[in-house]
Structure 1
Amino acid sequence: MNFKEKWQSQIAQIVSPSNLPTDPSPFLLDQRKRYTSENCLVVQPDSVEKIQNLVRFCAEHRLPIVPQGGNTGLVGGSLANGAIVLNMSKLNRIREINLADNSLTADAGCILQDIQAAAQQANRFFPLSLASEGSCQIGGNIACNAGGLNVLRYGTMRDLVIGLEVVLPNGEIVSHLQPLHKNTTAYELKHLFIGSEGTLGIITGATLKLFAPPQAQATAWVGVNDIQAAVQLLSQMKNHFAERLCSFELISEFALKLSAQYSNLAQPVQAAWHVLIELTDSLPRDDLGDVLAQYLYENGYENSVLAQSEQTRRDFWALRENISASQRVLGANIKHDIAVPIAKVADFVADCERDLWQHYPQIQLVVFGHLGDGSLHYNTFFPEVLNNDVYQFEDAVNAIVYENVLKNQGTIAAEHGIGSLKRHWLPRVRSADEIALMWAIKRQLDPHHLFNPNKLLPEN
């Protein structure tokens, strides 16, 4: 008897039969069709109480639980084997919008785009913005400490969460959803769960920060000769425009070419490297675009185009956001979600490119990302291997990329987390004492290692 057959009837009584999907297959395969969960039972509880009851049952019978949001992850974070796959999609209510505290409280299964829309309807702004925002869930965003396009001005999810509601591995609940903007009483426990990838608790609700909606925007596409010129421009603009600088995206020539063909849009300028810049202001003003254009011209960045209409602005952002989709035309690829200090981005790209081409002269590199916070999507293609057979090169390619990341004082995970893909690299990024402390926390909260086992932390 397999796992599903053994436990399905008892678990159906706990969460109700209607919360067991008739076709679980979409929840057992990741979006890249790389990771498949085996011998699992998928459940979709529609209340926090049912999640608590399910966790208590699993704790009693020592059944592993793998929480799953929108299933948009890239590192095998919701991969399972002989476990409960706890999909959060039915826990999807906007619970409260509090304008006095500029906060929104939502279930963890809410789609990010729905949270953005709810904030907009209340004349507020929730700044997290990702390519997957139409399908990713806020609980998963918090569990991976997502960043996205607006980190430069608003920070990561860690900066956007006021309070959390979390079900612990014993079924008890820790809930601090009140919108307190100051609370200095002892340890701030919410930070244990932000970025923990479901290994310490199941996030069921969150209170999030809202902001004033932008009343003015100015968007420009700038061509530069090299990354160092882009870094210099970023430094100058941070000092000049301060908090109005919202996004500063770096795009390689090859990445732009792919996206332009895929999007059926013309390249705004010709250059070796490209920067997409956006300024925002919470006050209405008609001159923000003129101010940006004049600043670029006066500082020698004449190979640039200012978005003169909303349609042009959308086209610029489509070129940036469609890079990921355009890569699928090339086939399977080995992805890297990394970050280095901004001052070292140019060195990293040059060093890594040199080392990769030395070992793989045929390799193609698609480089783009959020230069404003030093994080890059560094993706590698082998033109002669366009399917999942490319992963035979993954360990060797990762070793080259990550060694260069570490040499330049960076990190192997900036947005997508560690999951099962990168856990063996964690000791190269975190010290032995740090990992021992992480394991101590894990054992204290989850002594039977039931929550998302074999993820994030390396073998102990």
Structure 2
Amino acid sequence: MPTTSHLAHLSQLLSAREIITDSSLIEPYCTDQRGRYHGQAFAVLQPHSVSAVQSILRYCQQQQIPITPQGGNTGLCGAATPHSCTAGKGIILSLSKLNRVRKLSLADNTITVEAGMILADVQAAAKQANRYFPLSLASEGSCQIGGNIACNAGGLNVVRYGTMRDLVLGLEYVLSDGQLVSHLNPLHKNTSGYEMSQQIIGSEGTLAIITAATLKLFAPPQSILTAWVGLENIQAATDLLSALKNHFAERLSSFELISQSALSLSARYSQLQEPANAKWHILFELTDSLPTQDLTEPLINVLEQGNWLNAIIADSETKRQHLWTLRENISAAQRSLGASIKHDIVVPIEKVADFIESCQQRLLTAFPQTKTILFGHLGDGSLHYNVFIADILSNDVYHYEKEINQVVYEQVLQHQGSIAAEHGIGQLKNQWLSQVRTPAEINWMWAQKHYFDPKNILNPGKVLPPQP
């Protein structure tokens, strides 16, 4: 059926303000934020209600119209960009207009929000109720909660609060045939059979369309202590992590690793002084829900006992913000080096030091013209391992991607890690999935895909490798 006929039918299901057909307005939705992927769609649909989402899915399944679900379009793996296999025959389903707070329960410490709500707005709504939602990302001012759930986002506070999977208490989603599954009641225990929602979390829109979620809230931090430590090697950083966990337990909220090259870039970009002179740097934060907790003296004792003396403890909110600015501006500062081959990887914390050393040696042997900017969440073992090639500033760098990925991912696998920590698989890494999942797991994934989406209309070409 021609797209004009599809649009005519969709216009009966949706209002004019919920349909975008102008090609110039569609284009930004078809390009990922890195400019890496460029897809095609004959329309962008922005439903204002869950019932409209159901109607869209019913029609698209009947007509076998591919659907690319999209939140804030801040992803880094091409999951929210139409795949080339759809050849412009599909639509983009933007959840941005489903953006309300439905309920906030202080007794249950939960907030129920729609999928299109921006993460920063969820944080603000929790704060207004004197509660705390701990997910924190560089893109929190534009990413949407549905996308965070769809890729099981991690961020800065995983060491204490866990990933998005740990923060979701209830989920509402629409299946490919338009059926609504809604379990948003704030149940802290529920063992009534298999849990479908756990399969939806992290599935990147390939199994269902997330429309709302009930999220866990926490007491807001009242005592906050932020510190920066310069270290000569990664092993010293993991030793520091162990000491802090042992002494402060759940008070350790974040533990960030920053290489010297990453710090230098960010310091120049941010026009801030480097806090310490060292090969490696750790930025960490201790928090407590009690306002009178003085964590400074206990921290100084821990640092002195371990001889971690190249340290700065933020003695004001301004200083604290300066330290976090240096960490958060790394991604933006890297743009001066041009396009990069990004790796969102994770290895066991005890193997991080060996991985970094061996991977760097093999990468420089195979590609001596490369430069690596390394930073990440050492508190949970995940690293952002970004490889640049000298004198190549454009996307031409991706001509070397397969060979560079081969080197990096071989080392990740040798160190019992995974190729995807918090950014997901999308269309960037699905050809590598069989390297980190067994044939039994891949077959199980395909079985779930066939059950949830028998006509393969939900985000085709993403996550799953080609079916054997």
TM-score, with structure 1 as normaliser: 0.98
CA distance in 2, matches of 1:187, 1:428: 27
Matching of residue 166 in structure 1 with residue 173 in structure 2 = yes
Shift of residue 6, structure 1, vs aligned partner = 4.5
CA distance in 2, matches of 1:267, 1:170: 55
Matching of residue 211 in structure 1 with residue 210 in structure 2 = no
Aligned partner of 2:16 in structure 1 is: 17
Letter in 1 for 2:81: L
CA distances 1:415-440 after superposition (whole Å, capped 9, x unpaired): 00000110010001000001101111
**Residues 1:159 and 1:331: Cα distance change in structure 2 (over 3 Å):** same
CA distances 1:390-432 after superposition (whole Å, capped 9, x unpaired): 1000101111110000000000000000001100100010000
Shift of residue 311, structure 1, vs aligned partner = 0.5
Aligned partner of 2:77 in structure 1 is: 75
Shift of residue 40, structure 1, vs aligned partner = 3.2
Matching of residue 59 in structure 1 with residue 61 in structure 2 = yes
Matching of residue 239 in structure 1 with residue 241 in structure 2 = no
Moved over 3 A (4+): none
Secondary structure of the 1:140 match is: helix
Counterparts of 1:326-337 in structure 2, within 5 Å, are: 326-337=333-344
Letter in 2 for 1:443: H
Deviates more, 1:72-81 or 1:159-168: 72-81
Shift of residue 29, structure 1, vs aligned partner = 1.1
Decide whether the 8 Å contact of 2:109 with 2:217 is kept in 1. yes
Decide whether the 8 Å contact of 2:18 with 2:48 is kept in 1. yes
Deviates more, 1:352-361 or 1:7-16: 7-16
CA distance in 1, matches of 2:302, 2:365: 40
Letter in 2 for 1:61: Q
Between the two proteins, what is the percent identity of the paired residues? 58
Decide whether the 8 Å contact of 1:164 with 1:175 is kept in 2. yes
Letter in 2 for 1:306: I
CA distance in 2, matches of 1:425, 1:331: 25
CA distance in 1, matches of 2:41, 2:400: 28
Aligned partner of 2:294 in structure 1 is: 287
Counterparts of 1:344-363 in structure 2, within 5 Å, are: 344-363=351-370
CA distance in 2, matches of 1:156, 1:85: 27
CA distances 1:249-282 after superposition (whole Å, capped 9, x unpaired): 0000000000000000000000000000100001
CA distance in 1, matches of 2:145, 2:183: 17
Secondary structure of the 1:241 match is: helix
Aligned partner of 2:419 in structure 1 is: 412
Aligned partner of 2:32 in structure 1 is: 30
Which of 440, 446, 465 is residue 458 of structure 1 equivalent to? 465
Shift of residue 189, structure 1, vs aligned partner = 1.5
CA distances 1:40-78 after superposition (whole Å, capped 9, x unpaired): 311111110000001000111111111001000111101
Aligned partner of 1:258 in structure 2 is: 265
CA distance in 1, matches of 2:167, 2:159: 13
CA distance in 2, matches of 1:40, 1:195: 27
Decide whether the 8 Å contact of 1:149 with 1:247 is kept in 2. yes
Task: State the number of aligned residues.
Answer: 459
CA distances 1:142-175 after superposition (whole Å, capped 9, x unpaired): 0000000000000000100000000001100110
Matching of residue 139 in structure 1 with residue 146 in structure 2 = yes
Letter in 2 for 1:10: H
Aligned partner of 1:430 in structure 2 is: 437
Matching of residue 313 in structure 1 with residue 320 in structure 2 = yes
**Residues 1:2 and 1:256: Cα distance change in structure 2 (over 3 Å):** farther
CA distance in 2, matches of 1:380, 1:424: 20
Secondary structure of the 1:26 match is: helix
Decide whether the 8 Å contact of 1:2 with 1:39 is kept in 2. no
Letter in 2 for 1:69: G
Decide whether the 8 Å contact of 1:369 with 1:376 is kept in 2. yes
Aligned partner of 2:192 in structure 1 is: 185
**Residues 1:62 and 1:264: Cα distance change in structure 2 (over 3 Å):** same
CA distance in 2, matches of 1:402, 1:360: 15
Structure 2 unaligned segments of length 5 or more: list them. Answer: none
CA distance in 2, matches of 1:88, 1:356: 40
**Residues 1:456 and 1:275: Cα distance change in structure 2 (over 3 Å):** same
Deviates more, 1:50-59 or 1:7-16: 7-16
**Residues 1:6 and 1:360: Cα distance change in structure 2 (over 3 Å):** farther
Decide whether the 8 Å contact of 1:66 with 1:85 is kept in 2. yes
**Residues 1:360 and 1:6: Cα distance change in structure 2 (over 3 Å):** farther
CA distances 1:348-396 after superposition (whole Å, capped 9, x unpaired): 1111100110011121100000000000000000121001111000101
* RMSD value, Cα: 1.1
TM-score, with structure 2 as normaliser: 0.97
Letter in 2 for 1:57: Y
Structure 1 unaligned segments of length 5 or more: list them. Answer: none
CA distances 1:13-54 after superposition (whole Å, capped 9, x unpaired): 212111123522221111111111114311111110000001
CA distance in 1, matches of 2:11, 2:140: 31
Which of 94, 101, 120 is residue 94 of structure 1 equivalent to? 101
Shift of residue 325, structure 1, vs aligned partner = 0.5
CA distance in 2, matches of 1:137, 1:79: 15
Deviates more, 1:161-170 or 1:183-192: 183-192
CA distance in 1, matches of 2:327, 2:311: 16
Deviates more, 1:308-317 or 1:32-41: 32-41
Decide whether the 8 Å contact of 1:106 with 1:207 is kept in 2. yes
Which of 387, 391, 401 is residue 408 of structure 2 equivalent to? 401
Decide whether the 8 Å contact of 1:219 with 1:306 is kept in 2. yes
